[in-house]
Structure 1
Amino acid sequence: MITRKKNIKLEGKHQKPILADVFYIKSQEKKPIVIFCHGYKGFKDWGAWDLVADAFANAGFLFVKFNFSHNGGTVEQPIDFPDLEAFGNNTYIKELDDLETIIDWVSGTDFGYKGMADTAEISLIGHSRGGGIVTIKAAEDPRISKLISWAGVSDYKERFPKGKAFELWNKKGVYYIENGRTKQQMPHYLGFYTSFIDNEERLTIKKAAKKIKIPHLIIHGTHDPTVSLEEGQNIHSWNPNSELFLIEGADHVFGAKHPWSHNEMPAYLKEITVKSIDFALL
Structure 2
Amino acid sequence: MVQKNNILQRDSKKPIVWDAFYKENNTKKPLVVFCHGYKGFKDWGAWDLVAQAYSEANLFFVKFNFSHNGSTVENPIDFPDLDAFAENNYTKELEDVDSILNHLLSKENEYINQIDTSNITLIGHSRGGGISIIKASEDNRITKLITWASVSGFGKRTSTTGDLEQWKKDGVKYVLNGRTQQQMPHNYQFYLDYKANENRLNIELATKKVSIPFLIIHAKEDPSVKFNEAENLHAWNNKSELFSIEKSNHVFDASHPYKNKKLPEALQQVVTKSISFI
TM-score, normalising length: structure 2? 0.98
SS of 2:268's partner is helix
For 2:151 and 2:48, locate their aligned partners in 1 and report how far apart those are by CA, in whole Å.
Answer: 23
Query: Within the alignment, does 1:7 sit opposite 2:5 as a pair?
Result: yes
Q: Which residue of 2 aligns with 1:99?
A: 97
Per-residue CA deviations over 1:71-117 (Å, capped at 9, x if unaligned) read: 00001110000000000100100000000011101111111111111
SS of 2:120's partner is strand
Query: Within the alignment, does 1:121 sit opposite 2:119 as a pair?
Result: yes
Per-residue CA deviations over 1:110-147 (Å, capped at 9, x if unaligned) read: 11111111000000000000000000000000000000
SS of 1:100's partner is helix
Amino acid at match of 2:90: Y
Unaligned segments of structure 1, at least 5 residues: none
Aligned counterpart for 1:83 among listed residues 81, 84, 89: 81
* Runs of 4+ with deviation above 6 angstroms: 161-164
For 1:161 and 1:9, locate their aligned partners in 2 and report how far apart those are by CA, in whole Å.
Answer: 28
For 1:193 and 1:73, locate their aligned partners in 2 and report how far apart those are by CA, in whole Å.
Answer: 22
Contact 1:13 1:97 (C-alpha < 8 Å) held by counterparts: no
Q: Which residue of 2 aligns with 1:267?
A: 265
Amino acid at match of 2:97: L
Contact 2:215 2:241 (C-alpha < 8 Å) held by counterparts: yes
Matches within 5 A, 1:208-227: 208-227=206-225
SS of 2:83's partner is helix
Contact 1:14 1:94 (C-alpha < 8 Å) held by counterparts: no
For 1:196 and 1:112, locate their aligned partners in 2 and report how far apart those are by CA, in whole Å.
Answer: 35
CA deviation after TM superposition for structure 1 residue 161, in Å:
6.5
Unaligned segments of structure 2, at least 5 residues: none
For 1:15 and 1:145, locate their aligned partners in 2 and report how far apart those are by CA, in whole Å.
Answer: 28
Amino acid at match of 2:208: K
Q: Which residue of 1 aligns with 2:137?
A: 139
For 2:3 and 2:160, locate their aligned partners in 1 and report how far apart those are by CA, in whole Å.
Answer: 43
CA deviation after TM superposition for structure 1 residue 165, in Å:
2.5
Q: Which residue of 2 aligns with 1:258?
A: 256
CA deviation after TM superposition for structure 1 residue 12, in Å:
3.8
Contact 2:7 2:16 (C-alpha < 8 Å) held by counterparts: yes
SS of 2:199's partner is helix
TM-score, normalising length: structure 1? 0.96
Q: What is the alpha-carbon root mean square deviation over aligned residues?
A: 1.2
SS of 1:126's partner is strand
CA deviation after TM superposition for structure 1 residue 162, in Å:
8.0
